[in-house]
Amino acid sequence: MKILFLSPQPFYQERGTAIAIDLLLKSLSERGDSIDLLTFNVGDDRTYPNVSITRIAPPFAPKSIKPGFSAKKVYCDLFLFSDAVRLLRKNDYDVIHAVEEASFIAMLLGRIFRVPFVFDMDSSMATQMLDSFSWLRPFARPLHWLESLPMRRAIAVVPMCEDLAVKARRYCDGIVYVLKDVSLIGESPGSSAEDLRAHLNGNGPMLLYVGNLEEYQGIDLLLDGFAVLAKTNDTAELVIIGGKEEDIEKYRSKAHALDIGSRVHLVGPRPVENLGDYLSQSDLLISPRTHGTNTPMKVYSYLDSGVAVVATALATHTQVMTDNEAALVDPNPDALATKIEYLLENDVERSRLADNARDLVRREHSWAAFRRSVNELFGELDAKISQVN
């Protein structure tokens, strides 16, 4: 297949959507498809056979773009649109594969150029906007209606989790195929990561969080819960990997205000290729996410790490794991602290959860499982496009 791939975000960067796009490009390249990737000016190039990268070049181009809705993204999307027009005039494509808001570009241009499009649904755009901007809440219904339009017109919707798939099935008459994210530990050599315990004050248990420090990730909950734990456990320490400098300073200040500053270590970003080694050094992994329903990609590596996971009992987690694979807790500080304390005192339960979690990943979230899913999905698309033509 000849695919125009619209990626309205920085690519490549070590964050969830970009990593998922990279995995899909790698798999499509192995299939022998020909892909023209159109993406933002920000990011690092990746090289795969049959994959060509075109970057927008707007005047006053932003040097960084945060996850989620922003004025910078809207500005860059205008140039993504114009460059997509140029590529569609120049080349004959079998399908447009559009990520997130690029689905609106694909919906319009696909109709003009008579090319079917796939809506790669990494998150609910309407929900993200409503969570980020409270003043938009009176407009919730029209925002969700607007989001449904590309689902209604797409030849296929490819959500990354079951919660999004439920929404897609309400509107899409075509293919709705959940393309599950994968563990990234298989990509990790695990040989050059530093010893995280060198940051600690003693030899007590180490709790670990990995990911960005946006509000929806629940870092406030994590620190509040650790402050409760610290009242009864004087040896546990918390390491937080990831985040921008301003967010790191914000949460450092909060940790000091909670009188846990000496036991909370915000060490900044680390290379994703060493993720497996970092995870394996911990005694417990924490995913305290409080908003959103899509599952953070780090969770699959957490589950593959051989270390027990504590996660909030919200759809973002429960659509992937049960209490057989992780310790699921109500999203409040006391519940989080109680569960962490229980697991730190129960080696057998920690081992049971870690073993079950790794079995789940091997079945459903490995690279081999992902590649099989991509082959099945694009096999269906091949057949459907052939019928239309």
Tokens standing for 70?
Answer: 């922003």
Name 206's bridge partners.
237
Rg (Cα) of the chain, in Å, rounded? 21
Q: Which residue has the tokens 């960067």?
A: 13
CA 215 vs. chain centroid, Å, equals 15
Measured CA to CA in angstroms, residue 377 lies from 75, 155, 337 at distances of 32, 12, 42
Side-by-side strand order, sheet with 175-176: 51-55, 34-39, 2-7, 95-99, 117-121, 156-159, 175-176
Position 260 scores a pLDDT of 97
Q: Is the dihedral of CA 213, 215, 218, 224 positive or negative?
A: positive
Residue 78: the pLDDT is 95
Backbone dihedral angles phi then psi of residue 316, each to the nearest 5 degrees: -55, -30
Q: Which residue has the tokens 């057949």?
A: 383
350: which residues sit within 8 A by CB, 6+ positions away? Answer: 283, 284, 307, 308, 343
The residue with tokens 């937080």 is 240
From residue 337, alpha-carbon distances to 92, 258, 274, 341, 346 in Å are 57, 15, 28, 6, 14
> What domains can be seen in the chain, in order of their start residue?
2-182+366-388 (3.40.50.2000), 185-364 (3.40.50.2000)
Q: Which residue, chain included where needed, has tokens 């918390």?
A: 238
Site of tokens 């650790």: 226
Beta-strand relationship, 117-121 and 95-99: parallel
- Burial code (b: 16+ CB inside 10 Å, e: under 16) for 231-247 equals eebeebbbbbbbbeeeb
CA distance 36 to 359: 36
Burial 78-116 (b: 16+ CB within 10 A, else e): ebbbebbeebbeeeebbbbbbbbbbbbbbbbbbeebebb
């023209």: which residue's tokens? 36
Nearest residue to 148 via CA among 176, 190, 110? 176
Number of Cβ atoms within 10 Å of the Cβ of 252? 15
Q: What is the pLDDT of residues 116-147, one digit of tens each?
A: 999 999 888 777 777 777 788 888 888 889 99
Pull the structure tokens for residue 321.
């794991």
Using CB atoms within 10 Å of the CB of residue 118, give its burial: 0 to 12 exposed, 13 to 18 middle, 19+ buried.
buried
pLDDT of the residue at 389: 62
DSSP, res 154:
-
232 Cβ neighbours under 8 A, 6+ residues apart: 341
Residue-level pLDDT at 191: 53
Q: Which two tokens stand for residue 57?
A: 């070049």
Task: Identify the segments of the chain with pLDDT beneath 50.
Answer: 188-190
